[in-house]
Each structure stands twice: as C-alpha cells, then as structure tokens.
Amino acid sequence: VFATGFQQSCSPIESIESILASADPSSYDHVNAGDYYVPPSVIVVAIDQRTGNVFVGGHFSTIGNVTAYNIAFYDKGADQWYRLRDRGLVNDANQYPGHVGALAIKGNYLFVGGNFSQTSTETLGSQPVTNLNNIAKYNIGAGTPEDVQRGTWSPLSDDGLSDTVNALV
C-alpha cells in the first residue's frame, strides 16, 4: 500500500489520527537557516502486512516527539513513533535536506528511495552509512519495534543511483 502527496495536516491511513512532523531549519540548510526551508511533510506511507505497523517517509526532522530524519516507524499497538537506526536519512554530514519519496516492504526488508546519500550523523559515537545514493534497504526483521530500531542500513549494488528515486515496487 502506498500513498503519496498528502501533507501532515491531512488525515493519514488507518488508526493514525494526525502526523505531527516538524523540521529544524538549521538542519535543512547548507548555507544558513534563513536561506532555505523545506516545510515538513509526509510523502509516502508503507504498511508492514505482517504487523499492520506503518513506515512514513518525507521531509521532516521530528515526528511526534521523536527525532527522525525523513523516515520513521509507527507502532499502532503502542500508538508510538520510533526512529530507525541512526535517526534516518540525509544528504550529507551537514544534514542537507534530502527526503524519502518511496517505500516498499519485501520480507524482512524495507526498501527506501528518495534523495539522500547517507544515514544521519547525529547518533553519538556512530559513523554514518554512506554511499546509499538515493536507494537503500533496511533490515526490519519480524517488524517488531525492537527489530526495527535495531535494523541495519545497506547500500544496494553499485552504491545506489545517480538521481532521485520517486517510486518502488
């Protein structure tokens, strides 16, 4: 199941009443906070058919009360948002905007497309996963919140693609 093009103020699918996303302008600007701003939005939704839990992607730096760059996970049983490992996806070490514009789930993997090059560098002591280049896979295991939070990012063969990915099947 995919949904695209709705903004955070629209009612999303299933039991999610509203998605409260926000963007920190300083994390979305490679020059300074006054020159460039991407309003927070959810672009794409994917439902894990095994659990009914939801992954969302778009332009945001927080969702609910969770710091998550452009991708997050919603556990409908706990009614709670979670970030994926390394807090999400960005375009470079300066957190230049980027976005997630496509999601697909196949077995234990979430495939992610958009405009990004690496994972966030905001997790203390961690090194970003680089060479993702607009397409990546994330091991979600059985789809439980614990599995999703402990998942691992991997680049696809040949270190990704040279331009934005807007759709996945």
Kindly state the helix (H) or strand (E) to which residue 123 belongs, with its residue range: none
Record the pTM: 0.79
- Would you state the torsion angle of the CA atoms of residues 108, 151, 159, 166, taken in this order, to the nearest 10 degrees? 70
DSSP, collapsed to helix, strand or coil, labels residue 131 as coil
Confidence (pLDDT) at 5: 44
Task: Give me 65's structure tokens.
Answer: 């009360």
Confidence (pLDDT) at 18: 52
Q: Mean pLDDT lowest for which of 34-43, 68-77, 78-87? A: 34-43
Residue 86 contacts residue 128 (beta carbons within 8 Å): yes
Task: Give me 45's structure tokens.
Answer: 């939704």
Higher pLDDT, 77 or 39: 77
Does 4 score more than 70 pLDDT?
no
Parallel, antiparallel or unpaired: strands 54-59 and 71-75: antiparallel
- pLDDT-above-70 percentage for the chain: 73
Q: Which of 88, 97, 89, 93 is nearest to 38 (CA)?
A: 97
